[in-house]
Amino acid sequence: MTSKTTERTPLLHDAPAAAAPSTTIPPLLPVAPLSKTRHHDSGRSEEEGVTARLASTDSVSSGHGQTASVAVGNIVLILLIGVIISNADSSFLMATHTVIASEFDALHDSTWLLTSFVLAGAVTQPLYGKLSDIYGRKQLLVVAYFLFAAGCALVGMGNSMSQVILGRVISGLGSSGMTALVSILITDLVPLRSVAAWRSYINIFATTARSIGGPLGGWLADTVGWRWSFIGQTPIASVAIILIIFMIPSHTQAPEESEGTEEPKGSRLARVDLLGATFMTLAILGFLLPLQIAGDRVPWSHPLILGFLGAACIFLGLFLVTEHRFAKEPIIPLSLLVQKDMVLSLIIMVAQATAQVGLMIIIPLYFQITTEASNSEAGAHLVPGVIGNAVGGLLAGSLIHRTGRYKLLTLFALFFACIGYVLFILRWHGHINWFESLYNFPGGFGMGVVNSTLFVGIQAAIDPEHSAVAASTLYFAGLVGCMTGMAGTSAVLQGFLRIALERRLEGAGYGGVEKAKIIERAVSDLQYVHHAEKTVAHIVTSSYIYAFNFTHVFALVCSLIAFASTVFLKEYKL
């Protein structure tokens, strides 16, 4: 097989072919190309395989006595900066997006602050895997951190809703690379059976950041203002860029040069599937926009909605044709999309991410409406779900490492998540106590387990040649789920909220222009419910609670789809 299709670690130097295997390596040691048969019995143990991959002549001459795990750990420690700030950032927004939008009198557009970020990440997520194969992991990491820092600065200094959303788009372009490349590197460096364990360790930091991010973002919004939640991330990302540049080794030569042939510089860009990425972006937008505006700005029967959906189908078809016939190196190889277990894994990831992310954006709003909770208090109610995510990831990593099994664990986790969503439907009907915030734990647990088990499952199921692209595609599915959760939950909330407001205001004797003004204020300004006259405030609050119940039903249906899909998933012994 040629070097063009060899999965290697461009972040690190290739080990000389003559290097003798060694059991110790120095920090940030050069790493050899991955074996093409890593999922099969190659006649040696996993420990021997990783030792051979990590060995180099430098390990003999350096005199350092650090293990392979320490070398991988050195790399991961630097990249954890990006993991922490990108996850904290998402929690900042979940806790404060309604406050930010209300400042610009655009509460009904608040989910665009979340959706724009995730959409930008979804568009670039598959590209990061391919681009890092072509240009190197380190170069892509620097670009990702720079985009994230620039976007955060723009959000913090934005003077309008459109400027803030643009900043979120730029941040999203970077955040997807900051998170995806970490998992790709781990897959490059350690045996497959250990991947889930390593990812669970990283998930501890990611979860801690999400746990702190919600309350911290709310506290900053209550004290110095929400803008500092974002401006403060810019210098941290800048420090991370410096550490990557000076402490992460670069790939010294292109793969083709290592084989004795030189690749023309322009041919690298030609390998990037820009046309496919464009069609994919337009298809996602075509499906997403109707969820954002239907039932709120225009009715579902409006020709504009049908036009968007029709355009989305056309662009999806063009994307598939491009990937099949014209792309030299497809952004998502269609061979992956016809693999049953890959498709099922993507469906599971999209469905469960839709359920959990949709719920997470509703929880702070629920407490702000029903109990007049401050931003920091509302954000704190997200913590059980975040802790559940960490526990699920750690448990999955440990069990997979010990047993090599993952399907039964996935089924249990998704069933447990469904129980949590049922409890929301049955119990969240107004003023509740702190204990009932724990209903968010099962959903977070399910998401944590699914993140680990599906990642390992697809790596075991697919050709190792597509390892990085498959990882990016799974992350892409998670981001699609996030977008669907945000947009879908917002559509359900806005739709049923307007229905409830119309009915209850008419029943209370409000009509005409007065009724229209109340509805517009109720869906546009979070604080309106706390300043309106008593009768109107009661109507608005009860209407929100009525609409919240349908968002919980939406989450349950999505999680049941994920559970049903898992039943048909084949398990590969690791």
pLDDT for position 224: 79
Cα distances from 269 to residues 207, 263, 272, 457, 562, in angstroms, run 36, 11, 5, 31, 37
Domain assignment present for residue 173? The answer is no
Of residues 417 and 15, more confidence is placed in 417
Domain assignment present for residue 107? The answer is no
pLDDT for position 150: 92
pLDDT for position 445: 93
What does pTM read for this prediction?
A: 0.69
The Cα–Cα gap between 55 and 23 comes to 8
Instruction: Examine the pLDDT at 30 and tell me if it is beyond 50.
Output: no
pLDDT for position 4: 40
Instruction: Examine the pLDDT at 129 and tell me if it is beyond 50.
Output: yes
Of residues 393 and 442, more confidence is placed in 442
pLDDT, tens digit (0-9, with 9 covering 90-100), for 458-500: 888 877 777 767 877 887 788 788 878 887 888 898 889 888 9
User: What is the amino acid identity at position 37?
Assistant: T
pLDDT for position 551: 94
Tokens 């779900």: give the residue: 385
| Ordered DSSP codes for 311-350 | HHHHHHHHHHHIIIII-SS-SS-HHHHT-HHHHHHHHHHH
Residue from 172, 156, 155 nearest 164 by CA = 155
pLDDT for position 18: 36
Name the least confident of 84-88, 192-196, 254-258: 254-258
Cα distances from 177 to residues 127, 224, 330, in angstroms, run 9, 30, 18
Residues 6+ apart with CB under 8 A from 280: 123, 126, 315, 319, 331, 332
pLDDT for position 562: 96
Neighbouring CB atoms inside 10 A of 142's CB total 18
What are the residues facing 25 on neighbouring strands? Answer: 66
The Cα–Cα gap between 305 and 298 comes to 8
pLDDT for position 460: 82
Of residues 258 and 573, more confidence is placed in 573
Instruction: Examine the pLDDT at 53 and tell me if it is beyond 60.
Output: no
Domain assignment present for residue 279? The answer is yes
What range defines the domain where residue 290 resides? 274-327
Instruction: Examine the pLDDT at 196 and tell me if it is beyond 90.
Output: no
pLDDT, tens digit (0-9, with 9 covering 90-100), for 161-186: 888 889 999 998 888 888 778 777 77
What are the residues facing 294 on neighbouring strands? Answer: 298
Burial, 37: exposed, middle or buried (Cβ in 10 Å; 0-12, 13-18, 19+)? exposed
Name the least confident of 192-196, 229-233, 323-327, 392-396: 192-196
pLDDT, tens digit (0-9, with 9 covering 90-100), for 252-272: 334 444 444 455 555 666 677
Domain assignment present for residue 302? The answer is yes
Domain assignment present for residue 299? The answer is yes
Residue 35, helix vs strand vs coil:
coil
Q: How confident is the model at residue 156 (pLDDT cuts 50, 70, 90)?
A: confident
Of residues 282 and 40, more confidence is placed in 282
Name the least confident of 65-69, 226-230, 362-366: 65-69
Residue 66, helix vs strand vs coil:
strand
| Alpha-helical regions (H) of 248-298 | 255-258, 265-270, 274-293
Domain assignment present for residue 242? The answer is no
Of residues 278 and 33, more confidence is placed in 278
Output the average pLDDT for the chain. 76
Domain assignment present for residue 502? The answer is no
Residue from 450, 449, 452, 435 nearest 384 by CA = 435
Q: What percent of the chain has pLDDT over 70?
A: 79
pLDDT for position 421: 95
pLDDT for position 538: 87
Q: How confident is the model at residue 67 (pLDDT cuts 50, 70, 90)?
A: low
Tokens at 212, concatenated: 């702190």
Name the least confident of 23-32, 263-272, 366-375: 23-32
| Cα dihedral 383→141→115→225 (10° resolution) | 60
pLDDT, tens digit (0-9, with 9 covering 90-100), for 418-459: 999 999 999 888 777 778 888 989 999 999 899 888 988 888
Q: How many domains does the structure of the chain reveal? A: 1
| Ordered DSSP codes for 183-246 | HHHHHHHS-HHHHHHHHHHHHHHHHHHHHHHHHHHHHHHHTT-THHHHHTHHHHHHHHHHHHHH
Cα distances from 490 to residues 114, 233, 257, 349, in angstroms, run 11, 27, 51, 20
Q: How confident is the model at residue 50 (pLDDT cuts 50, 70, 90)?
A: very low
Domain assignment present for residue 282? The answer is yes
pLDDT for position 105: 75
pLDDT for position 17: 38
Question: Is the separation of the CB atoms in 550 and 489 below 8 Å?
Answer: no
pLDDT for position 60: 35
pLDDT, tens digit (0-9, with 9 covering 90-100), for 510-523: 888 888 888 888 87
Question: Is the separation of the CB atoms in 416 and 392 below 8 Å?
Answer: no
